[in-house]
Amino acid sequence: MLRAVEVAQSSLHAQMGGLAFVVRRMTIDFRGAAVMDDVLTVATRPKDMRGASMTLAQEVRRGDEVLVAADVLVAAVRDGRAVRIPDELRAALAMQDPELDPP
């Protein structure tokens, strides 16, 4: 999803002085099982955006069937300390979901 908004984690790291995203919390529901050879789609959308963290809602789907659903809280850090999510990234992600609160 970050690549879709033209942001690669390694670029974030290089261009924004060592910025990286770390996973803080995951709540995962396993509803159905995938089997070998299944082709799955991982759908990811921003669900909530705060100053230094955001929640992503993810679904792993096999066709229309949602096999796994998760809410993932990620935090922006630099040198191990919480930092604000860069505005250009915040804006790019907000465009993915017009219902997100404005930054």
Q: Which residues bind another protein (CB under 8 A)?
A: 9-10, 20, 22-30, 33
Question: CB-wise, 73 or 94, nearer to another protein?
Answer: 73
Token pair 């229309």 in the structure block, residue = 64
Minimal distance, residue 89 CB to another protein, in Å: 18
Question: CB-wise, 9 or 97, nearer to another protein?
Answer: 9
Residues 68, 102, 90, 18, CA torsion sign: negative
Question: CB-wise, 29 or 97, nearer to another protein?
Answer: 29
84 close to 52: Cβ distance less than 8 angstroms: yes
Residues 10, 13, 16, 21, CA torsion sign: positive
What SS3 state is found at 90? helix
Minimal distance, residue 12 CB to another protein, in Å: 12
Minimal distance, residue 27 CB to another protein, in Å: 5
